C-alpha cells in the first residue's frame, strides 16, 4: 500500500486512552458475537454484489485499523499478511488497489479461522498502540481510532442486513440470530398523530464536541415551510391496506424509475414478505422472513425492507409525502416523535448532498463519505440492527433509492398552509 496520509476529523473530544481502549474491546467483541451463530459456510457466502460476506466484514474492519492507524502511526508494525491490504480494502483509492466487490464471496481463503487470527493480531497491536503511543502520535491518531470504532459499528449492521439477504435465498429460511432483535411492538400500534411544526429557520447538523461523521457538518440554517409529521412509523398493517388497494399495481402512485422496478422485479410487497400459499412458509396469512426466521406478519410492527420508491409511493397513496431530512431533524428536536431509532431507518425526500460549507476529512478518511454524494437518498433514525449508542439525531444514513435489503421504513409528512 502507499503511505497515504490519513489524518481525520477535526474532532476536539479529549481522547481519554482508557475509555477508548475499553470501547475498542467492547466494539470488537460485539462483531464476533454477531458472527458467533454463523457457520464458516454462512460467513463466506455473498448473495449479491451489494452485500458482503460476514467473514469479509470481520476482516475489513480489522484492515481499517491496520491501514488507517497502525501502518500510518506505528512504524514498527508488522502486518499480519500484506496481501490482505488488497483483499480487504473496500473503496479507498488512496490506499491502493483492491479485490472487486462483487467477488468477495469467492474468497474461501483466508478461511474463517485465519480471519479470526487476523483480528487477534490487529487487536493486540491496537491495544499496545493505544497504551503506549507517545503524546504527539496519540494526538494525531486518536480521532482515527474513534472513527474506526464507528466504522466497525456500521459494518455490524451490514453483517445483519447482508446475512439476512443471504438466508432469504435459502428455501429453508434459516434463523441466524434468534435473539438479535424483537420486531414486534408491545401491543397495538398507537393511532397515528400528526405533529405540527410552524416552519421557519432551523439549525441543522452536528454541533461538534462528540464524534460525528464529516457529512453531518457544518451545522447550518435551513428555511422550513410549515408542515406536519407523523409521530410514529407506518406499520405492516397499514402497508397491507396499501397492497390490498392495489398500491403495487397503480403507476399513478409511483416515480417513473420506481414503477420500472415494480415491473422488472415483480414487486408486490416489501422484501422478505411471504404471501399465503408460498410453500416455504405454510399456513394462513402473510409471513415475514426475519433474523429470527419466518414469523407471522404483525400488523402493529413498523414496516421495514422498503425501497425509497415504495416509501414514496405509499406516501402518495396516503395523501402525504416523505419528510425532508431537515424536517425530520427539526421535528425530532421538538419532541413528540416516537420510534426515532431502534425500529427502522426512515427514508426522507432528501438527496444525499453535502451541507453548505462541507469539507471532507483530510487524507484517506476523506474518501469515507464525500465521494458518495450523488444518486443516493438520506435515511434518518436508526434500526433494530443499529448497535446501541451508534445513532444520533444528526446521523445521515444513505442508500440508493432501489435498495431494499436494509432495515428501512418510513414516517409520513405533509404540508401545512402557510
Q: Minimal CB distance to Fe ion: which residue?
A: 90
Q: Which range in 11-19, 32-40, 89-97, 337-345 contacts Fe ion by CB under 5 A? A: 89-97
Helices 54-65 and 112-132: crossing angle in degrees, nearest 10, is 20
Toward Fe ion, which CB reaches closer, 90 or 408? 90
Q: Does 153 bind Fe ion (CB under 5 A)?
A: no
> In whole angstroms, how close is the CB of 135 to Fe ion at the nearest point?
29
Toward Fe ion, which CB reaches closer, 31 or 290? 31
Give the whole-angstrom CA distance, residue 195 versus residue 335: 9
Q: Which range in 84-92, 237-245, 320-328, 389-397 contacts Fe ion by CB under 5 A? A: 84-92
Helices (H), 8-67: 17-35, 40-44, 54-65
> In whole angstroms, how close is the CB of 61 to Fe ion at the nearest point?
7
Give the whole-angstrom CA distance, residue 319 versus residue 316: 5
Pick from 90, 324, 341, 346 the residue near Fe ion by CB under 5 A: 90
DSSP symbols for 257-296: HHHHHHHHHT--SSTTEE-TT-TTS-SSS-EEEETTEEEE
- Tell me if 318 sits within 8 A of 412, measured CB to CB: yes
Q: Does 62 bind Fe ion (CB under 5 A)?
A: no
Toward Fe ion, which CB reaches closer, 153 or 235? 153
> In whole angstroms, how close is the CB of 97 to Fe ion at the nearest point?
16
Toward Fe ion, which CB reaches closer, 151 or 165? 151
How big is the site for Fe ion, counted in residues (CB under 5 A)? 1
> In whole angstroms, how close is the CB of 35 to Fe ion at the nearest point?
16
> In whole angstroms, how close is the CB of 155 to Fe ion at the nearest point?
6
Q: Does 397 bind Fe ion (CB under 5 A)?
A: no
Q: Does 47 bind Fe ion (CB under 5 A)?
A: no
Toward Fe ion, which CB reaches closer, 152 or 329? 152
Give the whole-angstrom CA distance, residue 368 versus residue 358: 13
3-state secondary structure of 390: coil
> In whole angstroms, how close is the CB of 391 to Fe ion at the nearest point?
17
Toward Fe ion, which CB reaches closer, 47 or 90? 90
Toward Fe ion, which CB reaches closer, 248 or 372? 372
- Tell me if 355 sits within 8 A of 215, measured CB to CB: yes
Dihedral, 22, 25, 31, 34 alpha carbons, nearest 10? -80
> In whole angstroms, how close is the CB of 360 to Fe ion at the nearest point?
16
> In whole angstroms, how close is the CB of 332 to Fe ion at the nearest point?
27
Q: Which range in 47-55, 86-94, 159-167, 362-370 contacts Fe ion by CB under 5 A? A: 86-94
Give me the residues paired with residue 412 across strands: none
- How many degrees, rounded to 5, is the angle at CA 381 between CA 375 and CA 383? 100
Q: Which range in 87-95, 186-194, 272-280, 310-318 contacts Fe ion by CB under 5 A? A: 87-95
Nearest alpha-carbon partner for 346 in 323, 321, 373, 362: 323
SS (H, E, C) 206-224: CCCCCCCCHHHCCCEEEEE
Residue 349 is inside which H or E element, if any? strand 344-351
> Residue written as cell 403495487?
248
Give the residues lining the site for Fe ion (CB under 5 A).
Answer: 90
Amino acid at each position: 500500500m502507499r503511505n497515504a496520509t490519513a489524518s481525520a476529523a477535526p474532532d476536539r473530544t479529549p481522547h481519554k486512552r482508557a475509555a477508548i481502549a475499553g470501547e475498542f474491546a467492547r466494539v470488537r467483541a460485539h462483531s464476533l458475537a454477531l458472527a458467533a451463530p454463523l457457520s464458516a459456510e454462512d460467513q463466506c457466502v455473498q448473495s449479491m454484489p451489494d452485500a458482503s460476506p460476514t467473514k469479509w466484514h470481520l476482516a475489513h474492519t480489522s484492515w481499517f485499523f491496520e491501514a488507517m492507524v497502525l501502518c500510518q502511526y506505528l512504524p514498527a508494525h508488522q502486518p499480519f499478511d500484506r496481501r490482505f491490504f488488497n483483499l480487504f480494502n473496500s473503496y479507498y483509492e488512496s490506499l491502493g488497489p483492491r479485490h472487486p466487490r462483487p467477488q468477495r464471496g469467492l474468497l474461501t481463503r483466508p478461511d474463517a479461522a485465519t480471519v479470526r487470527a487476523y483480528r487477534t493480531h490487529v487487536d493486540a497491536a491496537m491495544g499496545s498502540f493505544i497504551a503506549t503511543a507517545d503524546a504527539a502520535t496519540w494526538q494525531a491518531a486518536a480521532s482515527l481510532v474513534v472513527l474506526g470504532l464507528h466504522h466497525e459499528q456500521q459494518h455490524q449492521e451490514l453483517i445483519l442486513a447482508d446475512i439476512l439477504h443471504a438466508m432469504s435465498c435459502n428455501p429453508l429460511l434459516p434463523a441466524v440470530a434468534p435473539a438479535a432483535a424483537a420486531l414486534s411492538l408491545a401491543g397495538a400500534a398507537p393511532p397515528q398523530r400528526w405533529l405540527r411544526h410552524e416552519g421557519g429557520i432551523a439549525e441543522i447538523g452536528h454541533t461538534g464536541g462528540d464524534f460525528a461523521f464529516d457529512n453531518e457538518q457544518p451545522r447550518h440554517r435551513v428555511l422550513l415551510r410549515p408542515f406536519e409529521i407523523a409521530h410514529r412509523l407506518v406499520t405492516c398493517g397499514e402497508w397491507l391496506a396499501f397492497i390490498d388497494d392495489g398500491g403495487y399495481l397503480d403507476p399513478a402512485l409511483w416515480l417513473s424509475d420506481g414503477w420500472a422496478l415494480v415491473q422488472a422485479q415483480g414487486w408486490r410487497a416489501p422484501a422478505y414478505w411471504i404471501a399465503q400459499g408460498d410453500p416455504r412458509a405454510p399456513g394462513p396469512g402473510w409471513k415475514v422472513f426475519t433474523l429470527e426466521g419466518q414469523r407471522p406478519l404483525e400488523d402493529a410492527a413498523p414496516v421495514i425492507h422498503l425501497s425509497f420508491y415504495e416509501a414514496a409511493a405509499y406516501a402518495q397513496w396516503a395523501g402525504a409525502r416523505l419528510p425532508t431530512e431537515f424536517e425530520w431533524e427539526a421535528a425530532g428536536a421538538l419532541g413528540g416523535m416516537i420510534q426515532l431509532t431502534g425500529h427502522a431507518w426512515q427514508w426522507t425526500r432528501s438527496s444525499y448532498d453535502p451541507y453548505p460549507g462541507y469539507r471532507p476529512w483530510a487524507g484517506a478518511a476523506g474518501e469515507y463519505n464525500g465521494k458518495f454524494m450523488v444518486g443516493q437518498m438520506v435515511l434518518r433514525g436508526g434500526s433494530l440492527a443499529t448497535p446501541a449508542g451508534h445513532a444520533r439525531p444528526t446521523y445521515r444514513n444513505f442508500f440508493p433509492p432501489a435498495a431494499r435489503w436494509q432495515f428501512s421504513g418510513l414516517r409520513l409528512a405533509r404540508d401545512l398552509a402557510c
